């Protein structure tokens, strides 16, 4: 009696394909980085100032659906002090909206009442390898940006331009 090698081949093939898939897929990743960054306005480059951004948490990238981040993202500076003490609401990166942005909203309870603060819109590359943050300022027609990692204004503007050009390809 002769056995067919077809079932064995199918099983081995399935295992190889599954192994390749599992090794290529980016499962949830722990993030713990601190970057030097620059805050600037394209309309007033003289306002550029150095700062830093610290990111701690988990970046999840499911097979289907939107990537998300759960954790802390804090920006150095008096006007961003709340980013250290308030809780960051989970950030969902919307692939189809504004080329993959996620909203940075922080929450806390003050005297028993909820307090929400919107820092702005965030775009990332990879596992927070680079980031562009458009700071929310309803009274301004020329928003500030914080980009990282950047040691100077030239690097910061290049990172912003690279993100801006992503949607034009």
Residue 16 lies in a domain: no
Which long-range contacts link 135-138 to residues 24+ away (Cβ below 8 Å)? 135/39
Does some domain include residue 125? yes
Q: Three-state DSSP class for 65? A: coil
Is there a domain that residue 9 lies in?
A: no
At 167 the pLDDT is 57
pLDDT-based confidence at residue 79 (cuts at 50, 70, 90): very high
Q: Is residue 121 part of a domain?
A: yes
| pTM beyond 0.95, yes or no | no
Q: Summarize pLDDT for 48-62 with one digit per residue, the tens.
A: 999 999 999 999 988
- Structural domain count of the chain: 1
Q: Residue 17's pLDDT is what?
A: 82
Position 10 in a domain: no
Tell me whether residue 68 is in a domain: yes
Q: How confident is the model at residue 3 (pLDDT cuts 50, 70, 90)?
A: low
* Tokens found for residue 110: 């003050």
Q: Is residue 114 one of the residues assigned to a domain?
A: yes
Q: Residues 34-47: what's their mean pLDDT?
A: 95
Average pLDDT, the chain: 90
Domain that holds residue 79: 27-166
Q: Which pair of tokens denotes residue 19?
A: 């192994």
Tell whether 91 is covered by a domain: yes
């Amino acid at each position: 009696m002769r056995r067919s090698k077809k079932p064995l081949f199918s099983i081995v093939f399935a295992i190889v394909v599954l192994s390749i898939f599992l090794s290529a897929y980016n499962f949830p990743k722990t993030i713990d980085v601190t970057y030097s960054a620059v805050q600037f306005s394209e309309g007033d480059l003289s306002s550029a100032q150095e700062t830093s951004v610290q990111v701690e948490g988990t970046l999840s990238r499911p097979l289907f659906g939107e990537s998300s981040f759960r954790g802390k993202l804090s920006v150095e500076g008096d006007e961003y002090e709340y980013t250290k003490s308030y809780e960051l609401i989970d950030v969902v990166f919307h692939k189809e909206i504004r080329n993959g942005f996620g909203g940075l909203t922080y929450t806390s309870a003050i005297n028993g009442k909820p307090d929400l603060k919107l820092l702005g819109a965030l775009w990332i590359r990879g596992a927070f390898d680079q980031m562009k943050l458009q700071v929310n300022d309803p009274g301004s027609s020329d928003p500030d940006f914080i980009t990282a990692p950047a040691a100077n204004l030239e690097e910061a503007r290049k990172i912003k331009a690279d993100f801006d050009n992503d949607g034009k390809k």
